[in-house]
Structures are given as structure tokens and as C-alpha cells.
A = this chain, B = another copy of it.
């Protein structure tokens, strides 16, 4: 015998008959987006559990969904709340990104805040805050300082997201905890298992949603587990032990975000995640420099060189100088060098204790190479592979950054390769503990890296990172990261990245922020069974489609030297943008994006397809009215096909104006890249 309603009636008036009890009258409040289309309703169920629901144009998107916490060794914090009078406010400002996919971002929302206080003796309190934008919403829990709840030991967050409509869903699994590098699943919502975020839904009525989080600071990363039907619950990444988050009040959780748009293109235009982060705290960040780079890297993935020392060592003075010369000649700002430091010769994958972040291999002279690079107007991009041994890294990190600062390295690629083992962190007890990539300890670690780097004017490009939640707004030296299957899977993956991969990324992973995807491959045969499964034109298009402030030209230098005409686009394309327009797209199928250079009047366009040939219309209304542009077009040739003719590219020019509409013919696995030079 157990029934919630029955039991509660007994609770409320134990002497009376259960049937005689009316349900408690639920408090409720509503907040809408500035344009009035999105409405969030907050109320409570008969148990006094807070529930929220979301609709748009009167159509339900999220059905009533519960909120709350499971705390360690103390009752759930999720019900029997008294609710204060809701407080609302509006906010509207436009702020400027120091670098980014657009210069100006409007932060315009209506906010609803309620204070919940337990009616039980414990009388614990928390605030629920909803911010509703035209492009979605964020909500978070805020814990004030209070005697009845001085310390939060969170075992699980009970936040639910109940989809109100059937939906197609794009997602990658969670549960291994140290991996983000999966191929995307496309399934009905009812077939999702445990998913990482961002998770993207196309609802039955065509509306697109993406659930993610913003401002993941000193907290555990959120995954979603589908309990049944279309009901998802938050699943926080495990911590050292079963307490997933330890915080002292006052504190706020990260924002739980739901980006909402009429179509996939609208979703990719959203700035919600950034808006929900705090403004820049670093002041002048002109030292954070978006740039293109080449590197001692693809040759290792192609098994031509090694990270480790020996006869095939990649990071030699000679090889690095060759790359510096190439970068200088072709206008690239940086040269990444992996495998430069001592530690790659042992069991680095499972351990990381052997890495030195200050000692070079004997055939790599950091000072000399840095000076040589500087003399050529180029910078070395540093590299710190930690194999997720954060404790070991932190023991050397400051010295390592000092060294880079001395020699003039201003960007460092970090790496957290780990699969079998768990990340190691230093706990509050001063000892080493195991931890997961996206647990609270690693959230702290990653922020520590960024703030220590900032002191030395170094930007961080983390690979195998914690997920992106928009912290680049607050710490703009968080310049880039990986966090999804990158191009290297096309070097050796089995399977490699399929043709649909990038059209998935734009509407899933990339909603979280930029990704160092490392495109630009012309040598299409690799150790992966299908090689690089795109056309050349698509490789060029990726420089526009995949936003990355550090954008690599990843291929072997000789492949660029041998193909100067298509390489010209890579030389021309910028990495910092005045504006971005997503012209069209369907998740996992295709996308066309136009971006305006931040430092000229030129525009760039990239379009990519999946395995299907497509003909897309690209109206050029984004161009200045009345102005003439020379369009340098890099398109798939008539026979181009990712399976049979990847190199079939046509490069041509034409005059265009904003009144023109281009017809983009994309080959199977193809794409198109266009540079619009303002006349």
C-alpha cells in the first residue's frame, strides 16, 4: 500500500477521511519572454513540490517538470515548500565580445524569482530564478546563507525536463564519464538512454530545443537520464565519492538552459549560453588573440612521426622551424608543437606522472624556437598533455606558465586524455583523489588553469576538456576547446567521422561554444577505413561553418604546398567575426553559415552537407545593400563525391550584390566556401 496522494491527505489531516481532502491550492506564477512567445509557468504539485512548464505560442514544449535536490544523509529538498510572492524584473543590455562569432550581443530577458521555504521544522530555503529570453530560458537554484542549511552535500539534482511532444533527438551517451568523443545518435526521444548535453530535439511541431547548462563553476556537470517516456532527469557527473557537489551556502547552481527556436538555423543563432554567464572579469584582454595555426600534429596521427622521443620524434628543432617558416610565409599566427616535453616515453596514458611541463626533449630548444618564431612574426602554441592527471599538472602548472610567458607563448593547448582511469585531483584533504572529467573537482581545476594562465596573458585551448558552458564570456582567455570527435578520428578512427558529423556538431556540441576541430585536410587517404570522408570544398567550408577562434590548418605542410589554389581560401579566411548568420540548416543534414570578418568589410560563407547531394539557396541579403562584392567561390565539381572524387573542386569568381541569391550545389559529403570581397 503506497500512494502519494492518499498518504499526503493523511499527512495533512490524519483524523479525516482521505477522500474528503481537497487538493492544496497550488501557488503559480508566469514569466514570458520579451517577445511574449515563450512562457514559463512555475507552480507546485499536491505534495508542495515545485514544478515548471514551458510553452511557446501557447503550445506546450516542456510538460510539468519537477525541481529539487537529493542531499547526503538528510531528507530530500524537493517538497512541502511555502512560496513567497513571485518577484519579476526585466533586463536589456547589449554587450561586446572581445572576440567571437559576433561583436554585439543583446542580453534581453524577463526574470522570475521565488523563494521556497520548507514548511517542516527544518525550514530550509532556496530561491528559484528563471530568465526567459526570446531564444530560450535558463533557470538556477540559489542558496542563501542560512543556519538550517550551511553546507550543501548534493547527491543528485532532481531537476526534470519532460518533453511535451514527440521529438527527434540528437545525442551522445554519457556514463563512461571521461569521454565526449562519440558519434551522434539520431533517435526518437523515447530511445534516448543517458545523454550528455547539449542534447538537441526537433519537436513534432517543428520547434527545436537544446538542453544544456551555462556557467558550470565549482559544481558537477549535468547529464540527462531518461527515466521513462519523454521524462528526463538531471544526472550529475560523479565526484570522488557519492557526494557529487559540496558547497557552502550562499551559492548558485549553474544555469539549466533550454534554447528554443523555430528551426535548426535559429538554434545555432542563439547567444543564450553566453548571456547567462557573468561579464568579463579580466579587464583588458587584447592579449587574447584569435589566430590560425599549423602544427607538429597531423603527422603523428598519420603515424609518420611520434610524440615520444626516438628516430621519428616529431617535435625536433628542424621540423618546428620548417613549420615556423611555413606559418610566416602563409600568414598563420601560430605553430602548435606536441611531444616537445619529457614524459611521452612511458605509460603516459594511464598515469601522467612522468610528464614534465618545463623540460624539453633534447632535440627541442624552446627558447631558440620561440625566438626564431618571434623573429618571423609567429608564435609557438604551447602544449600540456596531462593524461587527466590534474594533480600532477597543478604541481607544475605555474612554473610551466611562467616558462611560456618568458619565451612569449600566449596560447596553450591542454590535453586530458583518459579513458580507462579517472582524472586525479587534489582533494580538500590535500591528498590525491580520483575524479571524473566533468565532476566538481575538475570544474575547479579547469577554472584554476584558466585563471593562472590569465595572470600570464596565456589563453587556454583545452582538449578532452570539461564541457563548454560559456565561461569564455567571464574569462575570455578560455579561447577554445575540443570536447567532441575532432578531425583526428578521420586519421585513424574506425569508423572515422562520417559525412554527417559536422552537420551534427553545428546543432549540438557547437551550441555550447567554439571547437578546435582542426579542419583543412587535403590528403584524403588515411588510416581510417573511409579516410577523410568529405570533399575538398567541404574542408574549406568548415573554416566558416565550425566557429573556432583558434583555427588549425591541420594537414601536412606538403599537402598545402602542392595545392596552392584551394589553400588560398585557408590563407584568406579570418577567425574573428563581426557578425554571424545561419542561413539554413537541418540537424545532421546540412547547414549554411555566413560570417562577416571583424577587421574588414568582407563576408565569408560556408555550406556543408551530409552524405546527400543538396542544392541550397543562399540569399545574399546579409551583404551591404547597393555594394558590389567579388565572390571567390570554392565549390564541388560536377563529379565531386566524398566516396569517389573528393578532390574535384571548382574555384571561380563572380560579381554579386545583396540582391542576389546563390544556388549552392553540394556534392554527397560535399560543401562550398565563398569569400565575398567588398569592392
Residues of A within 8 A of B (CB): 1-8, 10-11, 14-15, 17-19, 47, 72-76, 79-80, 155, 173-175, 179, 181, 185, 187-188, 190-191, 193-194, 225-229, 231, 233, 238-244, 301, 303, 306, 308, 310, 344-350, 415, 417-422, 433-434, 463-464, 482, 486, 488-489, 492-494, 527
* Known A15-B308, A242-B155, A464-B1; contact A6-B492, beta-carbon cutoff 8 A: yes
Q: Which residues of B contact A488 (CB under 8 A)?
A: 1
CB distance from A14 to the nearest CB of B (A): 6
Mind listing 17 A-B residue pairs with CB under 8 Å? A1-B301, A1-B482, A1-B486, A2-B418, A2-B464, A3-B181, A3-B492, A10-B349, A14-B344, A19-B492, A72-B242, A76-B421, A173-B228, A187-B190, A193-B193, A193-B228, A194-B225
CB <8 Å contact, B306 and A11: no
Contact, CB under 8 Å: B14 / A346: yes
- Among A19, A74, A348, A492, chain B packs the most CB atoms within 10 A around the CB of A492
Structural contact, B179 and A2, CB atoms closer than 8 A: yes
> In whole Å, how far is A298's beta carbon from the nearest beta carbon of chain B?
11
Given A190-B190, A239-B242, A241-B243, 17 other A-B contacts at CB below 8 A? A1-B488, A2-B419, A2-B464, A4-B419, A6-B492, A7-B419, A10-B349, A11-B347, A14-B344, A14-B348, A17-B306, A19-B303, A72-B241, A75-B434, A79-B420, A188-B191, A193-B193
Q: Would A15 and B242 count as touching, CB distance under 8 A?
A: no
- Closest B residue to A297 by CB, please name it: B1
Q: How far apart are A86's CB and chain B's nearest CB, in angstroms?
A: 25
The distance from the CB of A15 to the nearest CB of chain B, in whole angstroms, is 6
A226 and B193 form a contact (CB under 8 A):
yes
Residues of B with C-beta under 8 A to A239: 242
- The reply to whether B345 and A14 contact each other, CB–CB distance below 8 Å, is yes
Q: Report the bound CA distance from A511 to B21 in whole Å.
A: 38
A233 to B177, CA, bound (A): 14
B17 adjacent to A420 (CB under 8 Å): no
Please indicate the chain B residues that have their CB under 8 angstroms from the CB of A244 in the complex: 242
Consensus secondary structure, chain A interface: loop
Given A14-B344, A225-B193, does the pair A7, B349 have CB atoms closer than 8 Å? yes
**Shortest Cβ-Cβ A-B pairs, 10 listed:** A242-B242, A190-B191, A193-B226, A241-B242, A173-B228, A193-B227, A193-B228, A17-B303, A7-B349, A1-B488
Residues of B contacting A310 in the complex (Cβ-Cβ under 8 angstroms): 15
Nearest CB in chain B: distance from A415 CB, A: 7
Residues of B within 8 A of A7 (CB): 349, 417, 419
Query: Among B14, B74, B155, B346, which residue has its beta carbon within 8 angstroms of that of A347?
Result: B14
**Measured between C-beta atoms, what is the minimum distance from A387 to chain B in Å?**
9
Contact between chains at A11 and B47 (CB < 8 Å): no
Between A10, A18, A489, the greatest number of chain B beta carbons within 10 A of the residue's beta carbon is seen for A10
Q: Determine whether the beta carbon of A434 is less than 8 Å from that of B489.
A: no
- Indicate if the CB atoms of A73 and B303 lie closer than 8 Å: no
Interface-centre pick from A231, A239, A243, A419 (highest chain B CB count, 10 A):
A419
Q: Most B CB atoms within 10 A — which of A79, A244, A344, A420? A: A420
Residues of B within 8 A of A349 (CB): 7-8, 10-11
Q: How far, in angstroms, from A4 to B231 measured CA to CA in the complex?
A: 32
- Which chain B residues border A227 with CB–CB below 8 Å? 173-175, 193-194
Contact of A240 among B73, B173, B194, B486 (CB under 8 A): B73
Say whether A175 contacts B233, CB under 8 Å: yes
Q: How far is the CB of A224 from chain B (nearest CB, A)?
A: 11
User: B residues within 8 A CB of A174?
Assistant: 227
Q: Which single residue of chain B is at the shortest CB-CB distance from A1?
A: B488
Give the most central of A3, A179, A417: most B CB within 10 Å.
Answer: A3
Cα distance, A1 to B10, chains bound together (Å): 57
Contact of A434 among B74, B79, B418, B421 (CB under 8 A): B74
Report the separation of the CA atoms of residues A17 and B239 in the bound assembly, to the nearest whole angstrom.
35
CA gap between A349 and B5 in the complex, in Å: 12
Q: Enumerate chain B residues within 8 angstroms of A233, measured Cβ to Cβ.
A: 175
Q: How far is the CB of A482 from chain B (nearest CB, A)?
A: 8
When C-beta atoms are compared, the residue in chain B nearest to A49 turns out to be B420
**Option from B8, B243, B493 in Cβ contact (under 8 Å) with A242:** B243
- CA A17 to CA B300, docked complex, whole Å: 9
- Min C-beta distance of A368 to chain B, whole Å: 26
Residue of B nearest to A240 (CB): B73
How far is A621 from B617 in the complex, measured between Cα atoms in Å?
Answer: 74
Residue from B15, B18, B226, B231 within 8 A of A303 (CB atoms)? B18
Task: List chain B residues, Cβ under 8 A from A155.
Answer: 238, 241-242
Question: Which residue of chain B has its CB nearest to the CB of A432?
Answer: B73
**Closest B residue, CB atoms, query A20:** B303
| A176 nearest CB neighbor, chain B only | B227
B10:A433 contact, CB within 8 angstroms: no
Per the bound structure, the CA–CA distance linking A1 and B461 in Å amounts to 13
Q: Give the residue of B3, B15, B226, B417 whose beta carbon is less than 8 angstroms from that of A2.
A: B417
B345 and A415 contact, CB distance less than 8 A: no
Name the B residues within 8 Å of A173 (CB-CB): 227-228
What residues of chain B lie closer than 8 Å to A231, measured between beta carbons?
193
- Which B residues touch A420, using CB under 8 A? 4, 47, 75-76, 79-80
Distance, CA A243 to CA B243, complexed state (A): 9
Assess whether B433 is in contact with A73, with CB atoms less than 8 Å apart: yes
Point out the residues of chain B lying under 8 angstroms from A73, CB to CB.
240-241, 433-434
Q: Tell me which residues across on chain B come within 8 A of A193, comparing CB atoms.
A: 193, 225-229, 231
Q: Tell me the bound Cα distance from A179 to B4 in angstroms.
A: 10
On chain B, the residues within 8 Å of A434 by CB distance are 73-75
Interfacial chain B residues near A228, Cβ < 8 Å: 173, 185, 193-194
Residues of B within 8 A of A347 (CB): 11, 14
Docked complex Cα distance between A19 and B528 (Å) = 11
A679 nearest CB across to chain B (Å): 43
Nearest CB to that of A17 among chain B residues?
Answer: B303
* CB-based nearest B residue for A489: B3
Q: Which residues does chain B contribute within 8 Å of A181, judged by CB atoms? A: 2-3
Q: Are A493 and B19 touching (Cβ within 8 A)?
A: no
A418 contacts across to B, CB distance below 8 A = 2
Q: Quote the shortest CB–CB distance from A77 to chain B (angstroms).
A: 11
A316 to chain B: closest CB distance in Å? 16
Min CB gap A320→B, angstroms: 19
